[in-house]
Amino acid sequence: MLKTPEIETLIDTVLIGDSWTQAQNLPSECVQCIITSPPYWGHRQYAKAAELREFEFGSEKTAQKYVEKLVALFDELKRVLKPNGTLWLNLGDTYRDGQLAGIPWRTALALKDTGWLLRSEIIWHKPNAMPSSVMNRPTTDHETIFLFAKSPDYYYNADAIREPHVTFSEQSRMKGGRNHLGKINSTPEKGKNQGNSNLHRGRWDQAFHPLGRNKRTVWNIPLSKFRDAHFAVFPPQLVETCLLAGTTRDDVVLDPFMGSGTTAVVAKEHGRHFVGLELVPEYAEMTMRRVDEIQIRLI
Ligand SMILES: C[S@@+](CC[C@H](N)C(=O)[O-])C[C@H]1O[C@@H](n2cnc3c(N)ncnc32)[C@H](O)[C@@H]1O
C-alpha cells in the first residue's frame, strides 16, 4: 500500500487530477481551513480534453448526482481538516425546466446529514453581476457561501473581519455618544434593557466595539477583474474574508477546485500556506505562475 505523503511535501503545490481521487492521498487533520467554489451544476465545461470530462463536477445528469458527488468529496475532506477547522463553501444555483434547482440548500442539508455543522449562510451580493434579459423574475445578483465546522469548538477570528459601524456617528442620538467607544459598560442600553445582557452586548458590539461591529451575513463584493483564461474566479476580497476568519499565520488552507489559484494567491499574501487540487493541468500551471509573481512581489 502506498504511504500517505507528509503535509510538508504537499504545501504550496497544486495536485493535478480529480479532487475526490486526490483527496484520498492527503494526510488526516492537516489543513485548518477549506475555501472553495465548485463548478456550478450544468453551467460550463472547464476541461477541454475529453478524457477529463467524465471527472468534471457540474456535468452530472441530475442535481441529485451532483450533490452526491459533492457530499462524497467533502466527507473525505472532513478527514483532512483539523478538528477545529472550517469549510467555506461557495455555491451558486441553476435554473432547470423553468425553475431553480435549489442546489445550495440541497447541498448544505446533505452535508449536515453527514455530520458537518452548518454555522452560517452568507449571501455574496455582486454589485456588478451580469445583467440579464429576464422580465418574469428578479435578476439574480448573489451566490451563497456556507460556513461549516467540523466540531462545535472551531477556530473563528471575529475580530479579524469586523466591519465599520453604521449606527454610530458624531450625530448619534444615543446618550453618551463617543464616550462609549471601547467601554462595554454604561451604554444607554444598560439602563433601558437591564437584565437582558445579550441585547446589551449586541447593541454595544454594533455601535461601540473599537474594531467595528461583528461581520454581517451579506457581503457586498464586486466580481473580480482577473478573468484571464478562466471563468468564475473568486474575488480576492471574498477569499481574504474567509481566510482571515478561519486561519492564523502559517496555517494551511485547501482549495479542492483551485482553478486560476485565487485561494493560493491570497493565502501567500497573508503568510499562510495552501494545497490545491485541480483537474485541468493548464489551470494548475496558471496558479503556480500567479503564486510565483506574488512571491517575487513579497521579497
Ligand atoms: C469555479 S472554478 C474555481 C475558480 C477558482 N475559485 C478561482 O478563483 O479561480 C472550478 C474549478 O474546478 C475544476 N474542477 C472541475 N471538476 C474537478 C474535479 N473533478 N477535480 C478537480 N477540479 C475540478 C475546474 O477545472 C475549475 O477550474
pLDDT value at residue 230: 63
Q: What kind of architecture, by CATH, is found in domain 7-162+216-298?
A: 3-Layer(aba) Sandwich (3.40)
When mean pLDDT is compared over 45-49, 71-75, 166-170, the highest value belongs to 71-75
Section 291-295 average pLDDT: 88
For residue range 217-270, list pLDDT tens digits in order: 999 999 987 656 567 789 999 999 999 999 999 999 999 999 999 999 999 999
Helix, strand, coil content of the chain in percent (nearest 5): 35, 20, 45
How far is CA 257 from each of CA 46, 156, 278, rounded to the nearest angstrom?
11, 23, 5
pLDDT value at residue 244: 98
Decide if pLDDT at 175 tops 60: no
Q: Quote the ligand 1 centre to 248 CA distance (angstroms).
A: 25
Decide if pLDDT at 24 tops 70: yes
The atom number, within ligand 1, closest to the CA of 40 reads: 1
Average pLDDT, the chain: 89
> Which of 26, 35, 57, 285 maximizes ligand 1 atoms within 8 Å of its Cβ, making it the mutation to test the pocket?
57
Residues with CB under 6 A from ligand 1: 18-19, 37, 39, 46-47, 55-57, 230, 232-234, 257, 259-260, 262, 277-280, 283
pTM score of the predicted model: 0.92
Q: C-alpha angle with apex 195: 193 to 200, nearest 5 degrees?
A: 50
Q: Quote the ligand 1 centre to 54 CA distance (angstroms).
A: 14
pLDDT value at residue 185: 59
Q: Quote the ligand 1 centre to 194 CA distance (angstroms).
A: 52
Q: Quote the ligand 1 centre to 169 CA distance (angstroms).
A: 44
Decide if pLDDT at 184 tops 90: no
pLDDT value at residue 173: 47
Residue with CA nearest ligand 1 atom 16? 56
Cell output for 178: 463617543
Domain limits, the chain = 7-162+216-298, 163-214
In this structure, the strands spanning 99-100 and 95-96 are antiparallel
Least confident of 103-112, 157-166, 190-199: 190-199
